[in-house]
Amino acid sequence: LARGVTEPDLRGRHVVVSAGGTREPLDPVRFLGNRSSGKQGYALARTAVARGARVTLVSANAALPDPAGVDVVAVGTAVELREAVLRAAADADAVVMAAAVADFRPAAYAAGKIKKKDGQEPEPVTLVRNPDILAEISGDRVRSGQVIVGFAAETDDVLANGRAKLKRKGCDLLVVNEVGERKTFGSEENEAVVLGADGSETPVAHGPKEALADTVWDLVSERLGE
Ligand code: CTP
Ligand code: CA
């Protein structure tokens, strides 16, 4: 069958997709966030359902309606996203990390709103590293037999950066987007190259996020065992 044709090739499979962007609270009214809309992750969830999968969508702050037939787990922070992904991944055949996970979070959370003080400059915000969820689940994949997919938005030497990241993370596939002014964030369309740990390189022409999602599932499907 041709690529992109909807067929129930994921029937009997459980797939986990993370989507959106984490928010790392500073105080009760403020957070560190990012521009991820969640649209690519939601497109992955919808297309996986169409191909027969049971889908768990771990959704971080995406202002999008729950896709039909999907088990949605709402999370806020990177630490919460990690817990939800690890729990759902326990019996999953594939995990696709489309969420933008904050690399850092404020070291301290102020229980009360941070206020200005007369004539004083603000205190600097100290950040600490968040756990790397993709690297963690990829480290287990040889034992679990799961297919693990990451996403990366890169600038400059996009392919070289992507190859290095694929190796560093240890995942099976890495979807690499080039970002720039007006590219990718919040848009309905996407353009990417999917790099495989086996050396494969699959370009995906500019088009709807569903088309990229279907290519990702084609590549996942080829890599799933019996
Ligand atoms: N990711 C993750 N946990 C993190 C950071 C990222 O699971 N703490 C996942 C993302 O969901 C994505 C992939 O890793 O699938 C690549 O994210 P990216 O931010 O490009 O990778 P980083 O290793 O954080 O590299 P950079 O320093 O370029 O941000
Ligand atoms: Ca990052």
Task: Indicate left, alpha or beta for 72 from its phi (over 0: left) and psi (-120 to 50: alpha).
Answer: beta
Distance 126 CA to ligand 2 centre (A): 17
**Domain annotation covers residue 140:** yes
Is 117 inside a domain boundary? no
> Is 167 inside a domain boundary?
yes
The Cα-based distances of 68 to 72, 98, 187, 204, 211 in angstroms read: 10, 19, 22, 26, 19
Chain mean pLDDT for the chain: 93
Proportion of the chain above pLDDT 90, given as a percent: 87
Whether residue 37 lies inside any domain: the answer is yes
Question: Does residue 53 fall inside a structural domain?
Answer: yes
- Percentage of the chain modeled with pLDDT above 70: 94
Does residue 3 fall inside a structural domain? Answer: no
Contact 43, 70 (CB under 8 A): no
Ligand 1 atom with the smallest distance to the CA of 161 is: 28
Overall average pLDDT of the 182-205 stretch: 85
This prediction's pTM: 0.94
User: What is the average pLDDT across 213-224?
Assistant: 97
Q: Which positions make up the binding site for CTP?
A: 103, 113, 131-134, 151, 165, 169
Evaluate whether 57 touches 17 at the Cβ level (below 8 Å): yes
Which residue has the CA at smallest separation from atom 21 of ligand 1? 152
Indicate which CATH number applies to the domain containing 87.
3.40.50.10300
Flag whether 120 is in a domain. no
* Cα 129 from Cα 77, distance rounded (Å): 13
Which residues does the annotation mark as catalytic? Answer: 34
**For range 171-199, the mean pLDDT:** 84
Q: Is 77 in the pocket of ligand 1 (CB under 6 A)?
A: no
Distance CA 91, CA 16 (A): 10
Tell me the pLDDT tens digit for each residue of 21-64.
999 999 999 999 999 999 999 999 999 999 999 999 999 999 99
In angstroms and rounded to an integer, the radius of gyration of the C-alpha atoms of the chain is 18
Task: Tell me the mean pLDDT in the region 146-168.
Answer: 96
Confidence of residue 1 (pLDDT cuts 50, 70, 90): very low
Residue nearest to atom 19 of ligand 1 (CA): 152
Angle between helices 39-50 and 209-223 (to 10 degrees): 60
Q: Give the number of other CB atoms < 10 A from CB of residue 191.
A: 16
Helices then strands, counting H and E runs in the chain, come out as: 6, 12
- In angstroms, the CA 150 to CA 172 distance is 8
Structural domain for 136, as ranges: 14-103+125-223
Number of domains in the chain: 1
Q: Which residues sit opposite 24 in a β-bridge?
A: 32
Q: pLDDT tens digits, residue range 58-105?
A: 999 999 999 999 999 999 999 999 999 999 999 999 999 999 999 999
Atom of ligand 1 nearest to the CA of 133: 7
> Which amino acid is present at 99?
A
Interface confidence, given as ipTM, is: 0.99
The verdict on residue 7 lying in a domain is no
The residue whose CA has the least distance to atom 6 of ligand 1 is 101
Please tell me which residue, 189 or 213, carries the higher pLDDT value. Answer: 213
